[in-house]
Amino acid sequence: MKRLSTAEAGFAADFAALLDEARETTETVGDVVGAIIADVRARGDAALCEYTGRFDRMVVTADRLAITTAEIDEAVAAIPAALMAALDLAATRIERFHRAQLPADLVLPDATGLTLGMRWTALDAVGIYVPGGKAAYPSSVLMNAIPARAAGVGRVAMCVPTPDGVLNPLVLAAARRAGVSEIYRVGGAQAVAALAYGTATIAPVDRIVGPGNAYVAEAKRQVFGRVGIDSIAGPSEVVIVADGTNDPRHVAIDLLAQAEHDEAAQAILITDDAGFADAVAAAVAAELETLPRAAIAGASWAAHGAIIVLRSFEEAIPLVDRLAPEHLQVMLPDPEAFFARIRHAGAAFLGRACPEAIGDYVGGPNHVLPTGRSARFASGLSVFDFLKRTTWISSTGVADPARALAEIGHAAVALAEAEGLGAHARSVAVRLRLT
């Protein structure tokens, strides 16, 4: 764990080094992924079945790629009622928040008499990738599928690997609760290829969302343009801004909640109290002795964790904005006032009783967020990712359309001629009887 202090002469260089630290995978998989995509495009279901046998250790035929309603029924029936209630609570809150985001169409009467407008429409089909290797994430199903449904997407197809043929009941329950249309037992780059280009069994989609390993991320990168994607997500991260009146154990656990995602995750504490910093560091060490994922969290904390001690919290504002963290926790007496001055963060959690883990499951806002400082220019997943805008101009409501066109048409002719586009100029000019 790195310890930095704004009072030290070398702080600027040390902080710059922290910003530049590479946490993304250095594994080069582009050629392998490209070959898999090409194979799926060429051989379709046969390639999917072959790769599923090779990577997920299970024999599957094309007629078994789709997970059936009966399989989902059986899996869901085995889930304890309390767990289903928790899933439903999360889904209800996520849906409520995302439905509130739906934008209104724009109709703008123009001074010329023309009417200008913008119309929102949902995508036809969306593909969701859900990891199914080391861990399963029903919360990720809810966060990706519910905004699509709230936006009005008619078809939501989900791909999830099932190593050794094992289905995760809660993932299937989450898919059903979120309104997923179809589920396929396919993972990896081959699943992304199938969603992008289609096979005999899996129809193509318009956008692919959801997290995955390096192969999935590279596949999404390569099919972008054929379909839309959400982002190329990197390792998870949190920045916690806290004063010395907080419970050091609470802050330590909040830091470890990000560190336990994977060894490349990053957790940073920013405080003005050196004694409190020491107490949090000690509490992290104590928690690691009993944490179930201590090996992962400990490796993350040792390699990428940091504590920054300030002379005053005024110094924290520019530091947070330069970090542009995926998650920002503000545990100060007036967290709203501090957050009001922050420009760059994927999601913020304000107050001592609002840990980031609430946002991962039941808060309501989406947990699919920009990483790797991309919150400087990107936002978290929302209904807007499943909508597109179409602008329009209408002259049908104008009593004298020719007069309305004349108001602005001469300028259009002049600009088109200046650009050397004669047909553009003429298409307006003939209506103005200039040619």
CB atoms closer than 10 angstroms to residue 265: 27
**Residue 350 contacts residue 384 (beta carbons within 8 Å):** no
Helix axes 248-259, 274-288, angle to 10 degrees: 60
Query: Among residues 98, 261, 304, 327, which one is catalytic?
Result: 327
User: Contact, 157 vs 125, CB < 8 A?
Assistant: yes
Place of tokens 């304000």: 350
Active site residue 326: yes
Which residues, 6 or more positions from 66, have their beta carbon under 8 angstroms from its beta carbon? 182, 183, 184, 185, 201
Pure H helices in 168-324: 169-178, 188-197, 214-223, 248-259, 274-288, 294-304, 316-323
Whether 250 sits among the annotated catalytic residues: the reply is no
C-beta separation of 4 from 18 below 8 A: yes
419-426 contacts, C-beta under 8 A, 24 or more apart: none
3-state secondary structure of 186: coil
> With b meaning 16 or more CB within 10 Å and e meaning fewer, what string describes 7-18?
eeeebeebbeeb
How far apart are alpha carbons 362 and 359 in whole angstroms? 6
Whether the Cβ atoms of residue 328 and residue 342 lie closer than 8 Å to each other: yes
Task: Please give the structure tokens belonging to residue 179.
Answer: 């309104």
Angle at 153 between CA 87 and CA 363, to 5 degrees: 30
Catalytic residues: 326-327
